[in-house]
Amino acid sequence: MPTRLSVNGTDHQVDLPDDVPLLWVLRDEIGLTGTKFGCGVAACGACTVQIDGEAVRSCQIALADVWGDVTTIEGLGTPDTMAVIQQAWVENQVAQCGYCQSGQIMQAAALLAETPAPTDAEIDDAMQGNLCRCGTYPRIRAAIHMAAARLSEA
């Protein structure tokens, strides 16, 4: 029986086995390739998406275990406007190779939703499971602080 899944505000019917990881549902079935495959064991964070606002590793969430609305990197902003966190990412030139960045941004967006003015320690704690081979961690922290400041002004 097909499974109903809400992704970025759009309902999808997918006819896949219950144990298929959400990552592959998003990429292969729905065609949203912004979420990346990294390690497959939830250790790198490249596949981070949000379910009901909670940052999760989509490689380890089975289709049957999705408990709410899914937001991917494609769903953060609008077709015409980047989300504040995405704008801060660009302005701080965070991305180098860029592979991990969608997962980093999704984790950061969840952090800011829960903690509007995070300290360096709170950022480090929230972001520790998202690995960046290029080592852009200082830029990531700066972008999160910039986005937090802009969101507090809005």
pLDDT digit of tens for each residue in the chain (154 aa)?
899 999 999 999 999 999 999 999 999 999 999 999 999 999 999 999 999 999 999 999 999 999 999 999 999 998 889 999 999 999 999 999 999 999 999 999 999 999 999 999 999 999 999 999 999 999 999 999 999 999 999 7
Ordered by where they begin, the domains of the chain are: 3-75 (3.10.20.30), 84-153 (1.10.150.120)
**DSSP for the chain, written as a single string:** --EEEEETTEEEEE---TTSBHHHIIIIII--TTS----SSSSS-TTEEEETTEEEEGGG-BGGG--S-EE-GGGSS-SS---HHHHHHHHTT--SS-TTHHHHHHHHHHHHHH-SS--HHHHHHHHTT---TT--HHHHHHHHHHHHHHHHH-
Number of other residues whose CB lies within 10 A of the CB of residue 148? 21
pTM to 2 decimal places:
0.96
